Structures are given as structure tokens and as C-alpha cells.
Amino acid sequence: MTSSTTPASHPAQQAAPEVISLLAAGRLLGLGRTTTYRLARAGQFPCRVLRIGGRYAVPVRGLRALLDCTKPDIGSRPASEEG
């Protein structure tokens, strides 16, 4: 018996949530609870925030993009240091 299978993506990708809580996103960015909520209410949180009912949620894709942008490039040096 032959079965046709479709290529499965990595299990961690299948289980990854689309959104996380505002507090979890704030923690990842190094923000405290009060600052996180204050920024969200003011519309100044560093990435997109969704309001779902009475809760805040942050899309993982946007947060991941923000964190990737702010990650220092460990292997590079400023041009002035290159010889």
C-alpha cells in the first residue's frame, strides 16, 4: 500500500501561535507591565497591537521582524575599525 504524503513543515512552525499577549511581547522587548500597557493605549508600542475584545494581542510576525531588525550584527565591525 502506497500513501501519498505532502511535505510537512517543521513541527515548531506548525505549533507557533499567530499572536501572543501584549505582556509577553513587552517582556521580549525588555519593557515593564505599566510601560507596555501605556505604550499600547497611546498607540506607541514598537510594533502592531490588536485589540480583541477587552484584550491586547501582538502578531508574532511583526514582533519577530522588529526583534530581527534590532539584533546586533555580532560579526561586523564599524568601517573605521577595519584595516
- Chain segment 39-83, per-residue pLDDT in tens: 999 999 999 999 999 999 999 999 999 998 766 655 555 555 544
Q: Say what the pLDDT of residue 47 is.
A: 95
Pairing label, strands 55-59, 19-21 = antiparallel
Q: Say what the pLDDT of residue 78 is.
A: 55
Average pLDDT on 12-37 reads 90
Residue 8 has pLDDT above 70, yes or no: no
Average pLDDT on 12-30 reads 87
Contact 22, 58 (CB under 8 A): yes
Which residues share a beta bridge with 59?
19
Contacts of 29-33 spanning 24+ positions with Cβ under 8 A: 29/66, 29/67
Total residues found in the chain within this entry: 83
Query: Can you tell me whether residue 57 is helix, strand or coil?
Result: strand
The answer, as to whether pTM is greater than 0.85, is no
